Chains A and B, each alone.
Chain A
Amino acid sequence: MKELASYARDLVSGMRVTYGDARYVETRSENIEVKNGAPRSVTSRVSRGIGIRVLADGYWGFAATSTLNKRAVAKACREALKIARAGSRAKGTPITLTPVTPVVAEYVTPYLEDPFKVSLEEKIGILLKAEAALGGEASVKVRQAFYQGFERRTVFASTEGALIDQRIVQVGGGITATAVAEGDSQVRSYPHSFRGNFQSTGFEYLRELDLAGHAPRVASEAAALLSAPTLPEGKRTVVLEGGQLGLQIHESIGHPIELDRVLGMEAAYAGTSFLTLDKLTSDFRYASPIVNIVADATAPKGLGTFAYDDEGVSAERIEVIKDGIFRNYLMSRETAGVVGRQSNGTMRADGWSRIPLIRMTNINIVPGTWRLEDLLADSDGGLYLATNRAWSIDNKRLNFQFGTEIAYEIEGGKLGKIYKNPTYTGITPEFWNSCDAVCNKDYWIMWGTPNCGKGQPGQTARVSHGTAPARFRNVRVGVVK
């Protein structure tokens, strides 16, 4: 497909455009769900095509086709140019791009075991065993186990001379127990909710998860939640489990730092950001001094790990929050110039038929110094909130509310009494400034979020958050009555 992408690139070069790129993308996924003793769905999906992006007369045009021959690609090139020219009717500020050094390169996700070469029988066998191990509780009416193997091959060719071929491989899975009683249902999951956890690696990850080994605890907790009280309203010290902290970072740091949102480009849909441009140069205190956040596209196993983004910019590790102070946005070639900087390689598209947008890579919290045991011992009377169940945040990313599957009272350094339907809410900078402890690297895990929505037409990005449990003070909890 390098030939077709290069053909498109050459055609566009001859159209007197300012810039152009062609991206051939082939995505392949295998999804398995086992439910109550039998396969619920076993699905293979493949989609491939080519998208042509041109910058002409100061405006973008993009056209994509799944017909992979020169005639269809030439038509898409002409359509992209026509669309760009139509854009100039709005008479805005013409788009310019910050420079990038074009490269010719190849990249493949490091892995041990190709997930697409493991037999279906073995995959289903692992899931059936895990699902059966959820079966010890009578009130657990729905037992589920999930697997996904995913790969994306991208060939990127730009009019500036880049030719980049990347193959990203990802694997994930998990289990869920749903306990049901009259007028109530409660869920527990492992290792994460919404089909499990996902990493850029091979099939070895599913084996490492040991789904069956964790199933009895998961089922038992789901059943116990039915008779647990609802978390009462109050202001409490909370320790967020790593997966929940990942989503907290995602919603209240990852999205606000996207420069396209800050500049209003997402205003009509997902919204903008409270993190206005003045905060980039004013030492804005985003969080307490112990909080350090990086956007690291080079981190092993992240869903946002790659060698080059979809503009051909190399992957970077960016300091986003340093000692609590805001330092960097996620930027594209188009937006970086607005703040006098260079793209930091965060443009990614959801497949061949979508344009790249600024997307999170792996937005990670740098490990702190605490052992979890010590943190719990130091947090008597607090709550430990685990496993995301719901999320919501306003369109400037200030007022958030999360629900988790379970809350535990921290009693004598241990996890004690449990509550159902736990929720907590806050205002982003206030919340992050209340963080006074982050666990160390021994508790740090790369959590995958394969369903981050943004843009119109809608795009789904696969991103990650490396986290360790962290403590926050004076948090409003128990919002659901």
Chain B
Amino acid sequence: MTESLRKIAANVIAASKADQTEVVVSGGDSALTRFAGNTIHQNVAEENVSVAVRAIVGKRIGVASSNDISPRGLKALAKTALDIAKHQPETPDFPGLPEAKPTAQVKAYSDGITSVSPAKRASAAVSIIKPAAKKGAIASGTISTEYGELAIANSLGVDVAYMSSAFEASAVIEKGSGAGYAGAISWEPSRVDVKRVGKTALAKCLKSVEPIGIEAGEYTVVLEPQAVAELVAYMAYMGFGAQDFLEGTSFLTSRIGQKIMSESVSIWDDGLDEAGMPAPFDYEGVPKQRVGFIEGGVAKGVVYDTYFAAKAGKTSTGHALPAGYGEGPLPTNIIMAAGTSSIEEMIASTERGLLVTRFHYVNIADPANAVLTGLTRDGTFLITKGKVRRPVRNLRFTESMVKAFASVEALSKERSLEPAMLGAMVVPAAKIERFRFSGTTEF
């Protein structure tokens, strides 16, 4: 099915007058049913094919993208990329495009995605809405499907393609002052239990009605996997890419080989692990390598694309993002090692602490020290003497992730695939000591 995209790429390369040419063709269909106030209020579908051309003239680089895939449109696109390259100074340290390497086969696509019609999405939404409405609660959320194709080719022989799918369900259910969240995502639609998403969010909502206010300060926290994913995603954005690492702004700069976190913490990127949302290669067509960031608490390394690998005297790990965005390479298939505990055991072993469902609006307060800030949301509970006692009003945390992940006391055996900023990641629940909450809010 990716043949038509590969053909577009091959045609553009054949017609290109640049010294080197790279073509990235992405296409697919996506659809999303959004519900709120116990009714479906937005319901959308989209189909698109987009082509990005990177033209190289000497060490001059031009990037142009368009979704006009007519022969005339593609010809104009190649010319735009070439013109951009011609009319600028050289980038002296540009190493050229990557050469072809064998890529692994991954299963990232399920035919099941094509059977999720608008009616089925609506039925799935109703399966969350109805039980909530019966309990006098209000359900909001999404049911979404995505089918994608990606083909990448360059004039040095790279010619790769793969298909992917994604099915996601998420729900926030509210009743008065209570709110609960649950979500699930997979490339295999049958792995997403929509009813369970609704049931979990509803149960959490009903437990969180009439929260009490508690003071800000340091607490032991039991973080559910979605909360862990949010922290790991921002940590990765701040520190696990070669650009920030080489420029000295990553918290891992100068710390490779040092033990900076708890021994139980291991975090890596693996695009080939089918427990995640697999991808066999990056946006330069380079095969994805498994890259460890933290192993047994020790800082190990960062991900590279071709440009930054050349600057560092290394080889690309297959983590290029689309050309022209300036972010540098980043991990998009993060996995965190499991532990030996469970959420129940973590709660039972906590004298006084907080159970956190997820965080909201996390942002970077001090990148050099990996300090993040954000708020709890949709289910925060006080734990005393080993039991969840009361819902609490939301709190703001301001905390160094190096300190927090050095204070991990337990990780759960079970892990789940959680949607996150840089792509869904496989993470456990975590118990962390002395997690700093700097403020409170009014609900």
Q: Which residues does A use to contact B, with CB under 8 Å?
A: 31, 33, 38-49, 59-67, 79-80, 82-84, 86-87, 89-93, 95, 119-121, 124, 128, 141-142, 178, 180, 182-185, 263-269, 271, 274, 353-355, 390-396, 398-399, 401, 403, 421, 423, 425, 427, 456-457, 476, 479-481
Chain B 312-341, CB-CB to A under 8 Å as 1, else 0, gives: 000000000001111000000000000000
Excluding A90-B40, A120-B84, 19 further A-B contacts by CB distance (< 8 Å) are: A41-B61, A44-B81, A47-B67, A63-B45, A65-B47, A67-B47, A89-B126, A142-B249, A185-B368, A267-B36, A267-B174, A353-B46, A355-B42, A392-B362, A392-B363, A392-B374, A399-B439, A403-B366, A480-B371
In the complex, which residues of chain B have a beta carbon less than 8 angstroms from the beta carbon of A64? Answer: 44-48
In the complex, which residues of chain A have a beta carbon less than 8 angstroms from the beta carbon of B119? Answer: 86, 89
Q: Which residues does B use to contact A, with CB under 8 Å?
A: 30-50, 60-68, 80-81, 83-84, 87-93, 117-119, 121-123, 125-126, 129, 138, 140-142, 144, 170-172, 174, 247-249, 254, 323-326, 360-369, 371, 373-375, 377, 394, 396, 398, 438-443
State which of A63, A142, A394 has its C-beta within 8 Å of the C-beta of B394: A394
Q: How many Å from the CB of B347 to the closest CB on chain A?
A: 25
In the complex, which residues of chain A have a beta carbon less than 8 angstroms from the beta carbon of B144? Answer: 456-457
In the complex, which residues of chain A have a beta carbon less than 8 angstroms from the beta carbon of B92? Answer: 38
**A-B pairs, 5 with minimum CB distance:** A92-B39, A43-B324, A399-B441, A86-B118, A268-B140
In the complex, which residues of chain A have a beta carbon less than 8 angstroms from the beta carbon of B367? Answer: 185
Separation of A141 and B250 alpha carbons in the complex (Å): 13
User: Are A421 and B375 CB-contacts (below 8 A) given A64-B47, A264-B138, A456-B32?
Assistant: no
Separation of A44 and B108 alpha carbons in the complex (Å): 30
In the complex, which residues of chain B have a beta carbon less than 8 angstroms from the beta carbon of A93? Answer: 39
Separation of A119 and B43 alpha carbons in the complex (Å): 43
User: Are A45 and B64 CB-contacts (below 8 A) given A40-B326, A399-B440?
Assistant: yes
A62 contacts B89, CB within 8 Å? no
Separation of A190 and B203 alpha carbons in the complex (Å): 49
B247 contacts A398, CB within 8 Å? no
Separation of A63 and B87 alpha carbons in the complex (Å): 39
Separation of A474 and B326 alpha carbons in the complex (Å): 40
User: Are A183 and B375 CB-contacts (below 8 A) given A45-B65, A64-B45, A401-B439?
Assistant: no
Separation of A86 and B439 alpha carbons in the complex (Å): 44
Q: How many Å from the CB of A391 to the closest CB on chain B?
A: 6
B140 contacts A401, CB within 8 Å? no
User: Are A425 and B396 CB-contacts (below 8 A) given A63-B45, A90-B122?
Assistant: yes
A33 contacts B326, CB within 8 Å? yes
In the complex, which residues of chain A have a beta carbon less than 8 angstroms from the beta carbon of B360? Answer: 271, 394-395
In the complex, which residues of chain B have a beta carbon less than 8 angstroms from the beta carbon of A124? Answer: 87-89
In the complex, which residues of chain B have a beta carbon less than 8 angstroms from the beta carbon of A92? Answer: 37-41
State which of B63, B89, B368, B374 has its C-beta within 8 Å of the C-beta of A128: B89
B63 contacts A43, CB within 8 Å? yes
Q: How many Å from the CB of B372 to the closest CB on chain A?
A: 9
A182 contacts B363, CB within 8 Å? no
User: Is chain B's binding surface mostly helix, strand, loop or mixed?
Assistant: strand
Q: Closest B-chain residue to A61, C-beta based?
A: B43
A120 contacts B87, CB within 8 Å? yes
State which of B30, B31, B247, B373 has its C-beta within 8 Å of the C-beta of A141: B247
B247 contacts A120, CB within 8 Å? no
B89 contacts A44, CB within 8 Å? no
State which of A62, A180, A183 has its C-beta within 8 Å of the C-beta of B247: A180
A90 contacts B39, CB within 8 Å? yes
List the count of A-B residue pairs having beta carbons below 8 Å apart.
Answer: 270
Q: How many Å from the CB of B270 to the closest CB on chain A?
A: 26
In the complex, which residues of chain A have a beta carbon less than 8 angstroms from the beta carbon of B171? Answer: 268
State which of A121, A142, A263, A401 has its C-beta within 8 Å of the C-beta of B88: A121
B91 contacts A40, CB within 8 Å? yes
CB-defined A-B contacts under 8 Å, sample of 11: A42-B84, A60-B41, A66-B47, A184-B368, A185-B249, A265-B36, A392-B361, A395-B361, A403-B366, A425-B439, A427-B441
B89 contacts A393, CB within 8 Å? no
State which of A45, A267, A390, A396 has its C-beta within 8 Å of the C-beta of B373: A390
Separation of A263 and B440 alpha carbons in the complex (Å): 24
In the complex, which residues of chain B have a beta carbon less than 8 angstroms from the beta carbon of A121? Answer: 87-88
B121 contacts A86, CB within 8 Å? yes
Separation of A93 and B248 alpha carbons in the complex (Å): 55
Q: How many Å from the CB of A174 to the closest CB on chain B?
A: 13
Separation of A60 and B32 alpha carbons in the complex (Å): 12
In the complex, which residues of chain A have a beta carbon less than 8 angstroms from the beta carbon of B44? Answer: 62-64, 83, 354-355, 457
Q: Closest A-chain residue to B255, C-beta based?
A: A183
Q: Closest A-chain residue to B171, C-beta based?
A: A268
A421 contacts B365, CB within 8 Å? yes
Q: How many Å from the CB of B197 to the closest CB on chain A?
A: 11
Q: Closest B-chain residue to A35, C-beta based?
A: B326
B45 contacts A394, CB within 8 Å? no
Separation of A121 and B129 alpha carbons in the complex (Å): 57
Q: Closest A-chain residue to B250, C-beta based?
A: A185
User: Are A39 and B50 CB-contacts (below 8 A) given A90-B39, A120-B87, A425-B396?
Assistant: no
In the complex, which residues of chain B have a beta carbon less than 8 angstroms from the beta carbon of A91? Answer: 39
A66 contacts B371, CB within 8 Å? no
State which of A31, A63, A185, A479 has its C-beta within 8 Å of the C-beta of B46: A63
A479 contacts B439, CB within 8 Å? yes
Q: Closest A-chain residue to B30, C-beta based?
A: A457
A89 contacts B122, CB within 8 Å? yes
In the complex, which residues of chain A have a beta carbon less than 8 angstroms from the beta carbon of B62? Answer: 42, 44
A43 contacts B64, CB within 8 Å? yes
B362 contacts A268, CB within 8 Å? no
Q: Closest B-chain residue to A425, C-beta based?
A: B439
Q: How many Å from the CB of A142 to the closest CB on chain B?
A: 5
State which of A40, A61, A267, A399 has its C-beta within 8 Å of the C-beta of B375: A399
Separation of A119 and B68 alpha carbons in the complex (Å): 24
In the complex, which residues of chain A have a beta carbon less than 8 angstroms from the beta carbon of B48? Answer: 49, 64-66, 353
Q: How many Å from the CB of A186 to the closest CB on chain B?
A: 8
In the complex, which residues of chain B have a beta carbon less than 8 angstroms from the beta carbon of A264? Answer: 36-37, 138, 140, 174
B64 contacts A183, CB within 8 Å? no
In the complex, which residues of chain A have a beta carbon less than 8 angstroms from the beta carbon of B375? Answer: 392, 394-395, 399
In the complex, which residues of chain B have a beta carbon less than 8 angstroms from the beta carbon of A423? Answer: 365, 373, 398
Separation of A275 and B223 alpha carbons in the complex (Å): 30
Q: Closest A-chain residue to B85, C-beta based?
A: A42
State which of A183, A391, A401, A456 has its C-beta within 8 Å of the C-beta of B34: A456
In the complex, which residues of chain A have a beta carbon less than 8 angstroms from the beta carbon of B87? Answer: 119-121, 124
Q: How many Å from the CB of A393 to the closest CB on chain B?
A: 6
User: Are A44 and B84 CB-contacts (below 8 A) given A92-B40, A93-B39, A392-B362?
Assistant: yes
Separation of A279 and B58 alpha carbons in the complex (Å): 63
A457 contacts B326, CB within 8 Å? no
B67 contacts A48, CB within 8 Å? yes
State which of B121, B324, B443 has its C-beta within 8 Å of the C-beta of A398: B443
B396 contacts A263, CB within 8 Å? no
